[in-house]
Amino acid sequence: MNLLTLVGALPLVGAALIYLIPTKDSELVKKFALLVTSLVAIAAIFLAVGFDKSITSLQYAQSYSWIPTFNINFALGIDGISLVLILLSTILVPIVILATWNESEGGRWSVKTFYVLILILETMMVGVFAASDLFLFYVFFEAMLIPVYFLIGGYGTGNRSAAAVKFLLYSLFGGLLMLASVIGLYVIAGNQIGATFDLTQLATLEIDNQTENFLFLGFFIAFAIKAPLWPFHTWLPDAAKSATPGTSVLLLGVLDKVGTYGMIRFCLALFPDASKTFTPLIITLSVISIIYGAFMAIGQKDIKGLIAFTSISHFGFITMGIFAMTSQGMSGANLYMVNHGFSTAALFLVAGWMMSRRNSSTISDFGGLQRVTPVMAWSFFIAGMSGLALPGLSSFVSEFLVLVGTYTRYPVAAIIGTLGIVLAALYILIPIQKTLHGPITEGNENMKDLNLREKISIAPVIAIIVVMGFYPKPVLDLINPTSAKVVVDAGYSDPIAEVNK
């Protein structure tokens, strides 16, 4: 059996097995879920070990006929970009499970259902990054919404069902627009080279400009909603506020990456000309996202809303990097996806612990935590520093690569984007000051510091954040060849060519 298939199928098998465990035995359910997802993570790491960095074509590729009528194949295969995102997803899931051990208990349904949903979601996440068939991707892309919808609606807090609906409708709307484009592409393929959903073949189509623009927009809007890019972002804060921290981690850390991943994999690869046409617009939107998200984050009173808006700002950087069309921007954006995944995970998990201890998510309810719960405070601090892209932590490398890559082609955008780092300092330091510093707020005096389970779960994330800040090379080595290929395939070459040294 192909290792990639194993990584994808294992969670699903796990979900089926969990179903056999008695509902009452929730501890066993949790342990089993943790075991399964850890195995998946290990398998994914083996996937990376066996990955040949020197070739840019799809690896672990496999294809089974699924719906022969439309020539739809169950085709999987990964390149560097997909690989790192699969790694991100599979590593985050066990961490999330461990970190949010008790989060599933206040839900509308049983603990068992929670983990079944999580495991199904993991399969979808792996599938969406591994699919090399457009139709298959679309199926995962859309089907993924359902477990998330139930996770938000069933286990969230506050106005959870409204948030879940908003999330679902936004995504569905985007997905349906994309469906129109998928259909268009399929039909055009049928007219030109015979019906196919194979990505490499689709990339060879010759589409007239106007059609290409429309098809591109269908894809792009879907991904922009997912990403979320301004002005398609308003679902995210609501969803993040209502979801449990664990779900939020998966939502912001992994699911949203599908949007930016899709931009690279589909928008650029399939519609290079249209991408060129729309690049100025997209760069503009990205810059707006960066600044707008930052300002909105500064104004947030809710800690989850704050993190959500910081993500919007960060996603602005990612899209900017992608559409800068330089190898630095592209690699930086890819790396940013991974780094943002981990730093947001750290932020959300720690914030989640803070909130569950205080039973509030309002920033002003906290204060002086540094003295009450130093370990938790430090975790939050480091996560925050990663959020503001402090050099030495992982986000810096990616953010700087994006900015450098963008500057070489779109200096103005890069300059405005760089202003975002001042705002980043504000939106991270203000909550840090309010929560960790100052006098100890009433009600926090006896807050408990992180327990061993929590420490174990946050430690790897922080370790990754720090190590990736100083030594991003292993990941960059995976990413670089593919991103260079993407840039070249889209018809661009770096403005700053290789200097002979």
Partner 1 sequence: MLVAPSLGYLVLSPMLIVFAGAVLGVLVEAFMGKTHRAAVQFTISVGVLLISLQQLWRIRDISSTTAAVDSVTIDKAGIFLQATVVLLALIAVFLIADQDNFVAQASAVPGSNEEAIALQQKNQQTEIFPLFLFAVAGMMLFPVATDLITLFVALEVFSLPLYLLAGLSRRKRLLSQEAALKYFLLGAYASAFFLFGAAFLYGYAGTISIRGISAAAGSANDVLLLIGIVFVSVGLLFKISAVPFHSWTPDVYQGAPTPITAFMAACTKVAAFGAILRIFYVGFAEAQTLWRPIITVIAILTMVVGSVVAIAQRDVKRMLAYSSIAHAGFLLSGVVALNKDGLAASLFYLVAYGLTTLAAFGIIGLVRDSTGEVTDLNRWIGLGKKSPLIGSIFAFLLLSFAGIPLTSGFIGKFAIFSAAYQSGNIAIVVAGVLSSAIAAFFYVRVIIMIFFTDPVNDSVSVIIPSVKSKISISIATVSSIVIGIAPSALLTAANNFANFIK
Partner 2 sequence: MPTSENLLWLIALPLFSSAILLLAGKRANSWGHVMGTIVSASTFTIGLVEFFAMQSRPEESRAVTQKLFTWISVGSFNVDASLLLDQLSICFVLLITGVGTLIHVYSIAYMSHDLDRRRFFAYLNLFIASMLLLVLGDSYLNLYVGWEGVGLASYLLIGFWNQKPAYATAAKKAFVANRVGDVGLSLAIMIAFATFGDVSFAGMKENVDQASSTQLTAIGLMLLLAACGKSAQFPLQSWLGDAMAGPTPVSALIHAATMVTAGVYLITRSNFVFDEAPIAQLMVLIIGGITLLFGAIIGTAKDDIKKALAASTMSQIGYMILATGLGPIGYAFAIMHLLTHGFFKASMFLGAGSVMHGMKDEVNMRKYGGIGKFMPITAITFGFGYLAIIGVPPFAGFYSKDKIIETAFNEGGMKGLALGLATLLGAMITAFYMTRVVILTFFGNERWGHKDEPHESPALMLIPIALLSVGSIASGYILSRGEALVHWLEPVVNPLKEHHEELLPPIVVSLMTLGVVAIGVTVAILKYRGVQADHAPEKVSVLTKAARRDLYQDDFNEATLMRPGQVLVRNLLNIDYLVIDGLVRSVGKVSVTAGNQLRTLQNGYVRSYALLMVIGALALITTIWVVTA
**Of positions 336, 407, 410, 492, contacts partner 2 by CB under 8 A:** 407
Q: Is residue 172 within the footprint of partner 1 (CB under 8 A)?
A: yes
How far, in Å, CA of 176 to CA of 222, rounded? 8
Looking at residues 375 to 404 of the shown chain, list those that interact with partner 1 (rule: CB under 8 A): none
Per the listing, tokens 């591109």 go with 216
Distances from the Cα of 188 to the Cαs of 134, 177, 195, in angstroms?
Answer: 14, 17, 8
Q: Is residue 124 within the footprint of partner 2 (CB under 8 A)?
A: no
How far, in Å, CA of 418 to CA of 317, rounded? 10
Rounded to 5 degrees, what are φ and ψ at 66?
A: -110, -65
Helix (H, G, I), strand (E, B) or coil at 197: coil
How far, in Å, CA of 127 to CA of 307, rounded? 27
Alpha helices (H) in 203-300, listed in sequence order:
209-226, 235-242, 245-248, 256-262, 269-270, 272-298
One symbol per residue from 119 to 158: x for binding partner 1 (CB under 8 A), - otherwise; what is it?
A: ----------------x--xxxxxx-xx---x--xx----
Question: Is 60:1 a contact under the CB 8 Å cutoff?
Answer: no
- For residue 73, the one-letter residue type is N
Neighbour-count burial of 493, counting CB atoms closer than 10 A to its CB (0-12 exposed, 13-18 middle, 19+ buried): exposed
Q: Is residue 458 within the footprint of partner 2 (CB under 8 A)?
A: no
Q: Which of 136, 130, 345, 355 is nearest to 251 (CA)?
A: 345
Helix, strand, coil tally for the chain in percent (to 5): 75, 5, 20
Q: Is residue 433 within the footprint of partner 2 (CB under 8 A)?
A: yes
**Of positions 65, 364, 463, 471, contacts partner 2 by CB under 8 A:** 471
Dihedral angle over CA of 267, 268, 269, 271, nearest 10:
70
When CB distances are held under 5 to 8 angstroms depending on the partner's kind, the choice from partner 1, partner 2, none that residue 139 binds is partner 1
How far, in Å, CA of 344 to CA of 461, rounded? 10
CB of 498 to partner 2, least distance (A): 5
User: For residues 208 and 498, which CB has a smaller minimum distance to partner 2 in the complex?
Assistant: 498
CB of 125 to partner 1, least distance (A): 15
Piece of 6-14, 130-138, 357-365, 414-422 that binds partner 2 (CB under 8 A): 414-422
**Of positions 86, 337, 390, 475, contacts partner 2 by CB under 8 A:** 390
Piece of 182-190, 202-210, 277-285, 374-382 that binds partner 1 (CB under 8 A): 182-190
Helix (H, G, I), strand (E, B) or coil at 86: helix
How far, in Å, CA of 26 to CA of 31, rounded? 9
The pair of three-digit structure tokens given for residue 263, joined into one six-digit string: 């931009």
Q: Is residue 68 within the footprint of partner 1 (CB under 8 A)?
A: yes
CB of 143 to partner 1, least distance (A): 5
The pair of three-digit structure tokens given for residue 392, joined into one six-digit string: 């030495």
Q: Which of 339, 184, 330 is nearest to 263 (CA)?
A: 330
User: For residues 16 and 169, which CB has a smaller minimum distance to partner 2 in the complex?
Assistant: 169
**Of positions 39, 45, 146, 429, contacts partner 2 by CB under 8 A:** 429
Q: Is residue 452 within the footprint of partner 2 (CB under 8 A)?
A: no
When CB distances are held under 5 to 8 angstroms depending on the partner's kind, the choice from partner 1, partner 2, none that residue 451 binds is none
CB of 8 to partner 2, least distance (A): 29
**Of positions 163, 476, 478, 486, contacts partner 2 by CB under 8 A:** 476
When CB distances are held under 5 to 8 angstroms depending on the partner's kind, the choice from partner 2, partner 1, none that residue 172 binds is partner 1
Q: Is residue 179 within the footprint of partner 1 (CB under 8 A)?
A: yes
CB of 209 to partner 2, least distance (A): 29
Question: Is 272:490 a contact under the CB 8 Å cutoff?
Answer: yes
Q: Which residues bind partner 2 (CB under 8 A)?
A: 169-170, 230-231, 233-234, 292, 295-296, 298-299, 326-328, 331-332, 368, 370-371, 374, 378, 385, 390-392, 396-397, 400-401, 403-405, 407-408, 411, 414-415, 418-419, 421-422, 424-426, 429-430, 433, 436-440, 470-473, 476, 480, 483-484, 494-499, 501
Q: Which residues bind partner 1 (CB under 8 A)?
A: 65-70, 108-109, 135, 138-143, 145-146, 150, 153-154, 160-161, 164-165, 168-169, 172-173, 176-177, 179-180, 182-184, 186-187, 190
